[in-house]
Amino acid sequence: MGLVSLEDMCKKAYEGGYAVGHFNINNLEWTRAILETAQEQKSPVILGVSEGATRYMGGFKVVAALAKAMVEDLNIMVPVALHLDHGTYEGAKKAIEAGYSSVMFDGSSYPIEENIEKTKELVATTKKLGLSIEAEVGAIGGEEDGVVAAGEVADPQECKRIADLGVTILAAGIGNIHGQYPENWKGLDFDVLQEVNNVTEDVPLVLHGGTGIPDDMVKKAISMGVSKINVNTECQLSFAKAVRVYIEKKKDLVGKGYDPRKLLAPGTAAIKETVREKMELFGSIGKA
């Protein structure tokens, strides 16, 4: 099937009252674990890659080639999007050129007029190529590739202005945070989410920082227009935990237990389980 844009999968999710999981990848194991789980669960899936992770893996071309080849070689038949996560203006252009099927342009650090100008240009480029684009209004709290902000809430009128540019999906801060949530976190701001969903009409919404939001809040957000949920930290935590157990049990010292294919296998299995749990929570299982 190759890589597809977010257009169809997010529209179907928006109308069907479920959300598609965006899972960030870091390497080959991550990519494989997510794709295999999507295939097993018959779920559409979004492979999210930040610019930092792109650099880590070697560059835009490496990531695009890896994702495309893996979908083909593993016979993945469910819809798969390769999506640049929190892209800069320049990064979005490079990702498009390299073959990503979708980009997020995070212009939230620009003044709103400049965010609008740059988003508008990238909307035109992606539309022409049949790709999708996610835009962001108001920073997402927590750490965003080095940028720290605290649980911000977007202005619904600014959301409307960006949504009206023709973006495929829209990320708006509603008190959500990247990384792990602090104990005194106030929860999602559903009043703002409702207002944003009302003014942006048919544009599906994105919830970033999907790790650690209580299940009932996630479900409520989905019922209010959230059709894409970003999960990153949770896969990292489950991977690290499983690999740590393997090493603490000194399994790497037995036979060829040091073989990276053995050493990383428990981590990969743990990612698969986390992804499956999230797909179940988001309601995307069987939707492909």
What is the spatial distance between Cα 283 and Cα 288, in angstroms, rounded to a whole number? 11
Is 85 marked active-site?
Answer: yes
Active-site residue (options: 85, 164, 216, 259): 85
How do beta strands 169-172 and 205-207 pair? parallel
Q: Nearer Cβ to Zn ion, position 208 or 278?
A: 208
Structure tokens at 88: 């800069």
Which CB sits closer to Zn ion, 147 or 265? 147
Which position's Cβ is nearest Zn ion? 208
Q: Give the list of residues 6+ apart from residue 251 with CB closer than 8 angstroms, or none.
A: 257, 262
Contacts of 280 (CB under 8 A, 6+ apart): none
Question: Nearer to Zn ion by C-beta: 208 or 272?
Answer: 208
Stretch that binds Zn ion, among 5-13, 43-51, 56-64, 204-212 (CB under 5 A): 204-212
- In the bound complex, what is the minimum distance in angstroms from residue 109's beta carbon to Zn ion? 13
CB of 147 to Zn ion, least distance (A): 10
| Count of residues of this chain found to bind Zn ion when the rule CB under 5 A is applied | 1
Minimum CB–partner distance for residue 196 and Zn ion (Å): 16
Distance CA 30, CA 199 (A): 37
The one segment of 38-46, 95-103, 159-167, 203-211 that binds Zn ion by CB under 5 A: 203-211
Cross-strand partners of 77: none
Let me know if 215 is exposed, middle or buried by CB neighbors in 10 A (0-12, 13-18, 19+).
Answer: exposed
| Per CB under 5 A, 208 contacts Zn ion | yes
CA 32/CA 37 separation, integer angstroms:
8
Torsion on CA atoms 242, 248, 250, 256, rounded to nearest 10? 30
Which CB, 122 or 243, lies closer to Zn ion?
122
Alpha-carbon distance of 264 to 2, in angstroms, equals 27
CA dihedral 56, 58, 60, 65 (to 10 degrees): -120
Q: For the window 160-199, what string marks contact with Zn ion as x by the rule CB under 5 A?
A: ----------------------------------------
Shortest distance in whole angstroms from residue 77 CB to Zn ion = 28
Smallest distance from the beta carbon of 49 to Zn ion, in angstroms?
12
Nearer to Zn ion, 160 or 208 (CB): 208
Phi, psi of 149 (to 5 degrees): -140, 155
| Least distance between Zn ion and beta carbon 86 (Å) | 6
The smaller minimum CB distance to Zn ion, of residues 94 and 208, is found at: 208
Q: Are 204 and 225 in contact (CB under 8 A)?
A: yes
Q: Which tokens go with 236? A: 């990292």
What is the helix, strand, coil percentage profile of the chain, to 5? 50, 20, 30
* Catalytic residue annotation: 85
Q: Which residues bind Zn ion (CB under 5 A)?
A: 208
